[in-house]
Amino acid sequence: LPFASSWTLPSTHRFLASPSLSRPHLRRPCPGVVPLRSTAESSPAAGVSTDDDGAPWWKSFTLEHAWVAEQTRPQFPILSRTVGDDKPLIYLDSAATSQKPSEVVDALRRYYDTMNSNVHRGAHFLSQAATTAYEDSRDAVAELIGAARREEVVFTSGATQGLNLLARSLGGRRHRHGAPQQHRPVADARRAPGSGAAGGEIRGAERRPHRTGRGPPAVPRDPADEGRLVRPVSNALGCINPVDEIVSHVRSNAHPDCAIVLDACQSVPHMAVDVGALGVDFLVGSAHKFCGPTGIGFLWGKYTRLEALPPYQGGGEMIDTVTLGGSTYAPPPARFEAGTPPIAQAVGMGAAARYVQRVGMENIHAYEKELGQYLVRRMNEVPGVTAFGPPPGEPRAALVSFATEGVHASDLSTFLDMEGVAVRAGHHCCQPLHTELGVSHSARASLYFYNTKRDVDVFIEKLEQTMDFFANMGESGTDDDFGDMDGLFSFDDFP
């Protein structure tokens, strides 16, 4: 088999792990996972300019961990393609979804070519092989987030389903969300079938973010508060929230049994996460954010918390016994994985988890810190651009949401796309935040470890050219004067 595993089928329940996999901690590296190391004998200090000829500072700006992108970028074939009018792709939308390395795609193909079968329910070779690969992926995710037990990892279709699962299973309680003016968790919870019928009330935490995203956590005292959703990294502002402070405050002021849920979609892909040290009860993530397939994610929960939750859906595998008089349910995680699961996607998620661990989460985080600071510093120098989030020099994620004077975000992203630069335009699931900031929409450039300094430089160049074009068009007072666009944009991209 192409997957090495010690997973077996115990006699008590086919879904439970063997005792050898119920480890007290999972901080050892995955088998075969050796973090990348710089091959350079020495690296120039980041940000040191050696030009004395008056050239712009960024011309000689260097990144100490640039080798991370240099070593990994060739493993992402899509990044070498051209788009539109033969323009090299500059992909700056990884906060929406990341690109996939060849070994993740190969894992999906290998599954379908060599072991395609349903899991847990067959004694034949293919079923056992598929089950082994599927459960290996659970181990890989547990390793990635530092879970104490593999049974604490529940496979879902993504973070959205994980939040809906909790909203329904924790029904009858009052829950708050502590994300910076983000509407998605509120919408997920309010739409969760059964949460309203059970008397659940989801209330938004009062937040007053300004353009930097800084400020103390706004967690009002409420002894009846039995659920709190926290986002450690903002996908819109890029600010990194003090999870330890928020958790401590909630534990001191909320109901003793308050469930703290971490939406880790923007943290698991970019930094080392250890759920045992966070002090939270649940955590959700999506594979497509950390180089895995779409349609698959996970919910982590303390095992005692998961054991106390009722099933989310009914179907095969989530039952223990069934009689005409009633049913009993399987223990976690089977209880929450009803029906045939997304097996291939789970296998791909496991491959992605192993891949980013081999790159090294410390390497990824260190490089993105440098590249993110470079991005925001350069954007702050572009006339007519307002960059939201922490200013240069302060900790932030490697993304920048921004508004442009006189240019709508959708128009801007369309023109950038004509030059091969892919950015996101819209609300970024944060309509209340945009209302607070006084803008209808924003554009967002988001980076990952495969992006390079050149990606940022090309983006800034095209951004400045686009801003100049719209400024000149406004001065000319006409909408059909495109003379200044010769050699800049090609309208052959439009059908």
Q: Which two tokens stand for residue 165?
A: 């699962």
CA distances from 156 to 268, 340, 355 (A): 16, 12, 20
Tell me the catalytic residues.
429
Contact status, residue 406 vs residue 474, Cβ threshold 8 Å: yes
Query: What are the distances in angstroms from CA 157 to CA 13, 47, 184?
Result: 24, 41, 16
Pairing of strands 421-422, 90-91: parallel
The helix (H) or strand (E) run that includes residue 327 is: strand 326-329
- For residue 57, give the DSSP letter: G
CA distance 337 to 315: 8
User: Measured between alpha carbons, how far apart are the two ends of the chain, in Å?
Assistant: 47
Taking the C-alpha atoms of residue 87 and residue 121, their distance in angstroms, rounded to an integer, is: 49
Cβ 229 vs Cβ 178: under 8 Å: yes
What count of residues does the chain have?
Answer: 495
Give me the helices (H) in 146-288, please: 159-169, 184-191, 243-253, 275-278
Whole-angstrom CA distances from 458 to 91, 123, 324, 353, 391 are 11, 55, 67, 30, 22
* Residue (of 247, 261, 152) closest to 202 by Cα position: 261
